[in-house]
Amino acid sequence: MHGWAGHLPKPSVRTIDDMRTVLADPSCRKYGTLYSMYRDLAKSEEDRSWLHCRNLRYDITVIPPKNVCGERVKTKGHFHPKNPAGVGYPEVYEVLEGHGHYLLQDRTCDDVVIVSADQGDLVIIPPEYGHVTINPSPDTTLAMANIVSCAFESEYGVYEQYGGGAYYEMADGSFRKNSRYLEVPPLRTIRAAAILERFPACRGPLYSLIGNDEALSFLNFPEKHLALFAALLD
Tens digits of per-residue pLDDT, 127-185? 999 999 999 999 999 999 999 999 999 999 999 999 999 999 999 999 999 999 999 99
Identify the pLDDT of residue 1: 65
- Alpha-carbon distance of 143 to 19, in angstroms, equals 19
- In the chain, the largest separation of any two C-alpha atoms, in whole Å, equals 49
- Alpha-carbon distance of 143 to 36, in angstroms, equals 10
Please name the helix (run of DSSP H) or strand (run of DSSP E) that holds residue 212, with its range, or none: none
Q: Tell me, yes or no, whether 2 lies in a domain.
A: no
Q: How confident is the model at residue 201 (pLDDT cuts 50, 70, 90)?
A: confident
Q: Tell me, yes or no, whether 161 lies in a domain.
A: yes
Q: Tell me, yes or no, whether 93 lies in a domain.
A: yes
Q: Tell me, yes or no, whether 132 lies in a domain.
A: yes
Helix (H, G, I), strand (E, B) or coil at 68: strand
Please give the single-letter amino acid code of residue 119: Q
- Helices marked H in 101-183: 157-161
Q: Tell me, yes or no, whether 154 lies in a domain.
A: yes
Q: For 204-231, b where at least 16 C-beta lie within 10 A, e where not — what string?
A: eebbebbeeeebbebbbbbeebeebbee
Identify the pLDDT of residue 202: 86
Query: Which pTM does this prediction carry?
Result: 0.96
Identify the pLDDT of residue 90: 98
Q: How confident is the model at residue 200 (pLDDT cuts 50, 70, 90)?
A: confident
Q: Tell me, yes or no, whether 140 lies in a domain.
A: yes
Q: Tell me, yes or no, whether 7 lies in a domain.
A: no
Identify the pLDDT of residue 7: 77
Q: Dihedral of the CA atoms 221, 226, 232, 234 (nearest 10)?
A: 160
The CATH number of whichever domain residue 173 belongs to comes to: 2.60.120.10
- Alpha-carbon distance of 210 to 223, in angstroms, equals 21
Query: Each residue of 36-92: pLDDT tens digit?
Result: 999 999 999 999 999 999 999 999 999 999 999 999 999 999 999 999 999 999 999
Q: Tell me, yes or no, whether 3 lies in a domain.
A: no
- Terminal Cα distance for the chain, rounded: 35
Query: Each residue of 88-116: pLDDT tens digit?
Result: 999 999 999 999 999 999 999 999 999 99
Greater confidence (233 vs 93) lies with 93
The domain in which residue 81 lies consists of 12-230
Question: What's the total number of domains in the chain?
Answer: 1
| DSSP category for residue 21 | G
